[in-house]
Chains A and B, each alone.
Chain A
């Protein structure tokens, strides 16, 4: 099915999230929408899926104009969408989730899941999904949940499939599998709109790449364009993708975590005897798929997470059992993973946010009063030093873009003398330009001799920053490896394969792929796929 968007605009109040967008997706084409977070990709797709009404413009399917008053209409016209946050009911089985909204029933509205089960098995067999219709969704790994979402669209006979940031939650191996699935779908005649900001995937799978920036189409380019070209288009100026940081000169082990264990109130062990050291002047990155204990690890060190067992020593001092305030005072700088919830009080001014954990100490506080003059001076200094883009430090933090908010958090945490710096997802949802800046600051802190812990689910970021990498899997450390470990090995380890096994497998795959490597990475494509 051919999809055309003509002059689509979507305004929220006076703000245009999409402005005059033209887009054509041909039959059996993988069309990528490339853009930074907040560029308006998801808004556009929600318009296409009937969740939003366009302010202006027209949607055409096979040349005929259509109007969707809700997702039901879009589905009926053959559009399916896999949302970034899965739209699956966690306590339902796969079959129940897929039947929902399009149930087959016996007399009297009695549910008949047999038909649905059969359809699931058919699709599952055709694409090699290996999905059990009677498994409960919340027990399934995210990769499989995503397949359930794809099946959900296919059962409804979607001819156009929208994938909204589908790889954000996947391990590198799962990502490769998804790219294969996309190629298969295309071979079977499904058109795919693939939304992403990850250049590597986009280049690997797309037929056409349309770049969106600030709600407008910038250009449509071929996947042969280089990563630098794409990055420049996406950001709107030349960006440096390589950090080229100097080698680390690690000193003594300053942070010593031993057998740290966290059990949540439901009785699940979320962090399981984690032992690691971080030396002065090195960056240890914690890699892993989201939800494997990263949050618990950082929060246990900060003291906001009750610890079941083990110890955390910072420069010989035990941290477990101390209050958060005491721990921060002993020299911990902490950038939480969700800046707008835990990093900032978004209604407070930028000025105030810059002294959130310093307000009661000189020079900012004395007795019961705060020194507003000093706070103001500090703000001016930090805003300049971190290049925070704002016209007034008294504006609320919520008025800032994601990247600038993160700069405020980072500026505050780095403005103290630190013995340890922890940053969780330091650049999640941050524009490419700011990423570069923030990364340089982190490396600069390392070079001052501070031990740094970076927690990131983005493998690119981990590999960019790390001197050593610890892989977390199901709450355990599944090996600590050097910073230059290959993407393949890390990916396998993130999926739970032991370090030795991962090295051996990667070695084997390399030997096997050597002759094929010269061709583009399309060995899984079948003939039809190549032809189109």
Chain B
């Protein structure tokens, strides 16, 4: 008989994923971007029109910089392997540095090999934020719904519904603000269907969401061809929301255009991110919402009305996404076209997960996707060695790698997707 069988624990090493990814990007930067890269210098301008003062242009010699970056990345990768051997995980800031080095290295490589060896960093960032606006609103909608336990696949439909209604109402009334309000209502209408079917009639939430996307796409497409195209002057020439520049602040280089040179919707976005974050994590309402999304039965035993909270949260999410959709037709583009949201609702869904169901995380994730989207546009303009079709894939590749590679397993609200029915 064994008297004491407490044996030493077997050392289980952490996953190889991070060191492998780091090694791969280090090799890519060192060889492809560095040794095989272009000798020309890459120029980055930091100023945009109307800035208060001049900043110097950043110039990097293509090959040398990337060889240096490559060596640094190789060192980080080697360190990651060593850490793993000792059973430790690489610090998050090291991973962040590696990611920044890779992105910079990529930019320098592409720009130095392009027809025009110069891009404006300021407009790259500011444009990225602009493209991210609908994504941010969409992902906030996702956060609001999923935190309360309802999976919202219908973000795409809410964005599209918001865009269409905003265009129609702003054309008829010639008031952009009326369009904005109408967009919120349209988003809420889409949400209402989701809420009624998934909460009251306990239909599978994914299926309702998918059907809603198809439905909204069909209705807006139909009305576009039968109404809007018949008389575009009357039905599809919406009034636009002006860009409001805050004096002085908007002329700070780089930051000014991002924070202080936005449309009303742009400012609303910053406000909404803060409000949703504050509401979810600092208030009584937020505590109840999160409880309902994690353990509805526990909330119920404490006298909280689970399905009422879910219903209102889904509706609120719809309003938020609808407003985000109006950005397409009231700010970004002159008029409504079919499928104007172009799948951004699904990218917003990825941003929810990448941002770990946190409004601020989702905001940052949406910014990343917006940035990748804008980069693709700018790089196509300056003419890079990479075919433009590949460039167009970039936002989606970033999505996949971001969600699968660097985030790892993230845990969402435990009861998301599960209807709550009292026995």
The answer to the question of B248 belonging to the interface, with a C-beta cut-off of 8 Å to chain A, is: no
Inter-chain contacts of B272 with A (CB < 8 A): none
Q: How far is the CA of A272 from the CA of B11 in the complex (A)?
A: 10
Most A-side CB within 10 Å, residue of B5, B6, B282, B304: B5
Residue of B nearest to A273 (CB): B7
Indicate if the CB atoms of B302 and A71 lie closer than 8 Å.
yes
B6's contact among A70, A75, A276, A478, by CB below 8 Å, is which?
A: A478
The answer to the question of A89 belonging to the interface, with a C-beta cut-off of 8 Å to chain B, is: yes
Inter-chain contacts of B290 with A (CB < 8 A): 89, 92
Residue of B nearest to A43 (CB): B423
Q: Please tell me the size bucket of the interface on A.
A: 35 or more
A272's contact among B2, B10, B301, B422, by CB below 8 Å, is which?
A: B10
Residue of B nearest to A113 (CB): B287
Indicate if the CB atoms of A272 and B9 lie closer than 8 Å.
yes
The answer to the question of B156 belonging to the interface, with a C-beta cut-off of 8 Å to chain A, is: no
The answer to the question of A109 belonging to the interface, with a C-beta cut-off of 8 Å to chain B, is: yes
Q: How far is the CA of A468 from the CA of B2 in the complex (A)?
A: 11
The answer to the question of B418 belonging to the interface, with a C-beta cut-off of 8 Å to chain A, is: no
B5's contact among A88, A261, A477, by CB below 8 Å, is which?
A: A477
B284's contact among A87, A111, A267, by CB below 8 Å, is which?
A: A111
Segment touching B, from A93-101, A393-401, A444-452, A511-519: A93-101
Indicate if the CB atoms of A498 and B301 lie closer than 8 Å.
no
Known A-B contacts A75-B303, A101-B304; the reply to A273 vs B10 at CB < 8 A is yes
Q: What 0/1 pattern do residues 277 to 302 of B give for CB contact below 8 A with A? A: 00000111111101100110111111
The answer to the question of B1 belonging to the interface, with a C-beta cut-off of 8 Å to chain A, is: yes
Indicate if the CB atoms of A273 and B301 lie closer than 8 Å.
no
Q: How far is the CA of A105 from the CA of B291 in the complex (A)?
A: 17
Q: How far is the CA of A479 from the CA of B299 in the complex (A)?
A: 41
A259's contact among B10, B286, B287, by CB below 8 Å, is which?
A: B10
Q: How far is the CA of A48 from the CA of B257 in the complex (A)?
A: 62
B12's contact among A75, A99, A110, A308, by CB below 8 Å, is which?
A: A308
Inter-chain contacts of A96 with B (CB < 8 A): 287
Residue of A nearest to B5 (CB): A477
Inter-chain contacts of B9 with A (CB < 8 A): 269, 272-273, 476
B409's contact among A87, A97, A266, A276, by CB below 8 Å, is which?
A: A266
Q: Please tell me the size bucket of the interface on B.
A: 35 or more
Known A-B contacts A99-B287, A103-B287, A105-B284; the reply to A263 vs B7 at CB < 8 A is no
* A10 CB to nearest chain B CB (Å): 11
Indicate if the CB atoms of A89 and B284 lie closer than 8 Å.
no
Indicate if the CB atoms of A480 and B6 lie closer than 8 Å.
no
Most A-side CB within 10 Å, residue of B7, B286, B299, B301: B301
Known A-B contacts A71-B303, A105-B283, A111-B284; the reply to A100 vs B291 at CB < 8 A is yes
B294's contact among A90, A275, A477, by CB below 8 Å, is which?
A: A90
Of residues 18 through 65 on chain A, the ones whose CB sits less than 8 Å from some CB of chain B are: 49, 51-52
The answer to the question of A102 belonging to the interface, with a C-beta cut-off of 8 Å to chain B, is: yes
The answer to the question of A362 belonging to the interface, with a C-beta cut-off of 8 Å to chain B, is: no
The answer to the question of A236 belonging to the interface, with a C-beta cut-off of 8 Å to chain B, is: no
Indicate if the CB atoms of A110 and B282 lie closer than 8 Å.
yes
Q: How far is the CA of A263 from the CA of B11 in the complex (A)?
A: 11
* A400 CB to nearest chain B CB (Å): 21
Residue of B nearest to A481 (CB): B1
Known A-B contacts A480-B1, A499-B4; the reply to A92 vs B291 at CB < 8 A is yes
Indicate if the CB atoms of A109 and B283 lie closer than 8 Å.
yes
Residue of B nearest to A309 (CB): B10
Inter-chain contacts of B295 with A (CB < 8 A): 87-90
Indicate if the CB atoms of B303 and A498 lie closer than 8 Å.
no
CB-defined A-B contacts under 8 Å, sample of 29: A49-B301, A51-B422, A52-B423, A70-B303, A71-B303, A72-B302, A87-B298, A89-B290, A89-B291, A90-B294, A97-B298, A101-B303, A105-B284, A108-B283, A109-B283, A110-B283, A111-B286, A261-B10, A267-B12, A267-B14, A273-B10, A308-B10, A308-B12, A468-B1, A476-B6, A476-B9, A479-B6, A482-B1, A500-B3
Q: What residues of chain A have their CB less than 8 Å away from a CB belonging to chain B?
A: 49, 51-52, 70-73, 75, 81, 83, 86-92, 96-97, 99-103, 105, 108-111, 259, 261, 263, 265-267, 269, 272-273, 275-276, 308-309, 468, 476-480, 482, 498-500
Closest 3 CB pairs of A and B: A72-B303, A101-B302, A87-B298
